[in-house]
Amino acid sequence: MENKAIIESFADFKDEKNIDRVTLMAIIEEALRAQITKRYGDDANFDIIVNPDKGDLEIWRNRIIVADGEVEDDNTEIALSEALKIEPDFEEGEEVSEELKLIDQGRRFVLAFKQNLVQKIQEHDNSVLFKKYQDLEGEILTGEVHHIRPRAVIIYDDESNELILPKDQQIPRDFFHKGDTVRAVVKSVDMKGSKPIITLSRTSPAFLEKLFEQEIPEVFDGLITVKKAVREPGEKAKVAVESYDDRIDPVGACVGMKGSRIHSIVRELGNENIDVINYTTNEKLFIQRALSPAKITSMTLHEEERQAEVYLKPDQVSLAIGKRGLNIKLAGMLSGYEIDVYRDVDEEEDVELTEFGDEIEDWVIKALKDIGCDTAKSVLDLTTEDLVNRTDLEEETILEVRDVLRSEFEE
């Protein structure tokens, strides 16, 4: 019963690691063979019989009987005189099977076996964990903040597996406390040595797409498809959606009455401003929708270069570009085109200086307005020398301003 008693003590791992008994016994045999090889040089002549139902095992060593004094390998051969002690009618050339007891191998053997077993169980757990989360890449999961490090938040799943949410994968407004519940998407699963490293993300576009799937029933049911999502985490996002049912308005279904449906997503993303637009294969129309809320007057596409020249009325330019250039940046990411914006002005039409705020510094515009130059033409009507003398601006700055303003009337 010695073997069984030892194995039963090791079987505690089954409950701790949630390993089924058959798998545990296979791991035990593998660990035991590794230790036998280390002890005897080879395990090929050993039979190990594992009984998962009884939680017992038997170890048998098979050796060939040779004449006394002719034993060359103690592991595979046994002298006739020794064999006769086991069975009195053995003869040379026959095979002897001798049962070994773990306890007879010595304390060091058993301790080394146990250490090897622990290592192989850990390797098994890591392999199972790696495969589990590899299959979950791109999916949302919920975990609990276990502790907070300067460069990452460590999150535990419901099985206390460690997941990492790096600082650069957190939304700028994210602020966590120990015990907080966090939702994130599985970004990557890598092996570092034998340990799986599971990295989460709350900044990935995939996180936004999966939130749409979780929060909007029509997306979950496949009636509406999220074609593409782009983000500036915590600031602004654009999501292109499409419905295969003409009776369903995909934008209306996603946004909901007065934004009721999308509100939970916005809140989850730290009040990120989300534009939902109808997807279309018409690239000009898609770019036009992507630049919303700006209204476009005309557009020229260069498909091979993936460039778009967009013309807008002066009062629409700032809307197209957006705060800190986010609107045009995200529209370009969504459409796959590099978008250049131009003011669409009549030859005789003048333009307020304030419309050039995206190209001319505010303090420069103020200096020009202080001398009565409120429009582009009022600036161009004066010479560079006059402008330098009447303002505190340097000649180089004046020349740059005149170039910007003149280009508007040369388009």
- CA of residue 104 relative to chain centroid, distance: 51
Contact 73, 48 (CB under 8 A): no
Same domain, 320 and 393: no
Structure tokens at 167: 């600082």
| Residue 229, domain extent | 217-277
In a domain? residue 344: no
- 174: nearest Cα among 146, 211, 145: 145
- 259: nearest Cα among 274, 244, 248, 249: 274
Give the pLDDT score at 54: 64
- 95: nearest Cα among 111, 107, 109, 80: 80
Same domain, 178 and 225: no
Full pLDDT tens readout for the chain, 411 residues: 455 555 565 555 555 556 777 777 788 888 888 888 988 888 999 988 877 666 677 889 999 999 988 888 888 899 999 888 888 888 889 998 988 887 778 888 888 888 888 888 888 888 888 999 999 999 999 999 999 999 999 999 988 899 999 999 999 999 999 999 999 999 999 988 888 999 999 999 999 999 999 999 999 999 999 999 999 999 999 999 999 888 899 999 999 888 888 999 999 999 999 999 999 999 999 999 999 998 998 999 998 999 999 988 877 888 888 888 899 999 999 999 999 988 776 555 778 888 888 888 999 998 888 887 888 888 888 888 888 887 888 999 999 999 988 887 765
Q: What distance in Å separates the CA atoms of residue 136 and residue 141, rounded to the nearest whole number? A: 9
Which residues, 6 or more positions from 244, have their beta carbon under 8 angstroms from its beta carbon? Answer: 223, 225
Contact 279, 316 (CB under 8 A): no
Same domain, 333 and 301: yes
In a domain? residue 346: no
Give the pLDDT score at 52: 61
**CATH classification of the domain holding 160:** 2.40.50.140
Structure tokens at 67: 């004449």
In the chain, the number of structural domains is 5
In a domain? residue 210: no
Give the pLDDT score at 149: 92
Outline where 322-394 has alpha helix (H): 326-335, 362-369, 376-380, 384-390
**CATH classification of the domain holding 244:** 3.30.300.20
In a domain? residue 304: yes
Please provide the DSSP assignment of 317-329 as one string.
Answer: HHHHH-GGGHHHH
In a domain? residue 225: yes
Same domain, 237 and 187: no
Q: What distance in Å separates the CA atoms of residue 145 and residue 182, rounded to the nearest whole number? A: 7
Structure tokens at 389: 């003398």
Structure tokens at 15: 């409950």
Collapse the DSSP code of 193 into the 3-class scheme (helix H, G, I; strand E, B; otherwise coil) and give the result. coil
Same domain, 106 and 149: no
**The one-letter amino acid at 168:** D
Which sign does the torsion angle of CA 25, 29, 34, 39 carry? positive
In a domain? residue 212: no
Please provide the DSSP assignment of 94-144 as one string.
Answer: -EEEEEE-GGGG-HHHHHHHHHHHHHHHHHHHHHHHHHHHHTTTT-EEEEE
Q: What distance in Å separates the CA atoms of residue 120 and residue 103, rounded to the nearest whole number? A: 21
Structure tokens at 37: 């090889």
What Å distances lie between residue 298 and 155, 308, 341, 344, CA to CA?
Answer: 50, 11, 11, 9
Structure tokens at 212: 């749409």
Q: What predicted TM-score, i.e. pTM, was given to this entire model? A: 0.67
In a domain? residue 211: no
- CA of residue 225 relative to chain centroid, distance: 21
